[in-house]
Amino acid sequence: MARDNSPKERQQKQLERKQGRRASYDRILIVSEGSKTEPNYFREIRAAFRLHTANVEVRPSELGTAPIQVVQYAQALFEDGDRHKNIQRRAFEKVYAVFDRDDHDSYHEALTLAASLDGKLRNDAKQPVAFQAIASVPSFELWLLLHFEDIQAPLHRDEVMRRLKLHIPGYDKGAGNAFAITGAHLSVATLRSERLSARFTAHTDPEPFTAIVELVRLLTTLRG
């Protein structure tokens, strides 16, 4: 009898091979608002620290860029998986939804939804899953700017971008190599971000805040 070599069977075999390549550390799903800037940045870190792609999955939201859509897509991708992307159902210990405050109407709704999901979902090992919103006020670029400036007062996202371009000429949304360019200043950006977190939270907008540091700290120490 001829062996079944249908597309469905090939996809299943790809999933099984990917599962076999996973390392022993936590499996992490990162879903971002941006389709290029944030995914490129986190994939850079993944490559720099030699993290298994089977353990650290980075995907832009496919439901839309509104914060609530980012959280909803992260939940759906975790619960349902995606065979076309070789992502198995509930195959993670941690899920992160990355989005900006900007002028989004659904920002606070997204924070509430993410908090309600934390510890409530179960993965394929029947363990509770950490689900966290990684928000930035006003934008992801604040995190990059903190590598060069100590920001302590509210800034509009356009001003953040203007200042960042003074330090990284030619920087634009979707640009690559952001981690390579800023990495030498990671420790000072971490300290500045932590000082902001001691004063403000994701809920105290328009005060400057970014939780990107939490995700970067996790990725850079994931292998111990």
106-126: string of b/e by CB count within 10 Å (b at 16+)?
bbbebbebbeebeeebebeee
How far apart CA 45 and CA 51 sit, in angstroms, is: 8
pLDDT of residue 8: 55
| For residues 67-88, average pLDDT | 97
Question: Is pLDDT above 50 for 20?
Answer: no
| Pair of tokens at residue 27 | 């499996």
pLDDT, tens digit, for every residue of 158-208?
A: 999 999 999 999 898 777 899 999 999 999 999 999 999 999 999 999 999
User: For 17-21, 49-53, 75-79, which range has the lowest pLDDT when averaged over its residues?
Assistant: 17-21
For residue range 123-170, what is the model confidence (pLDDT) as tens digits?
999 999 999 999 999 999 999 999 999 999 999 999 999 999 999 998
Please give the torsion angle defined by the CA atoms of residues 206, 113, 89 and 135, in that order, rounded to the nearest 10 degrees: 10
Confidence of residue 60 (pLDDT cuts 50, 70, 90): very high
> Rounded mean pLDDT of the chain?
92
Average pLDDT over residues 115-120: 98
User: How much is the pTM?
Assistant: 0.89
User: What value does the mean pLDDT take over residues 51-71?
Assistant: 97
Q: Assign 223 a pLDDT band (cuts: 50, 70, 90).
A: confident
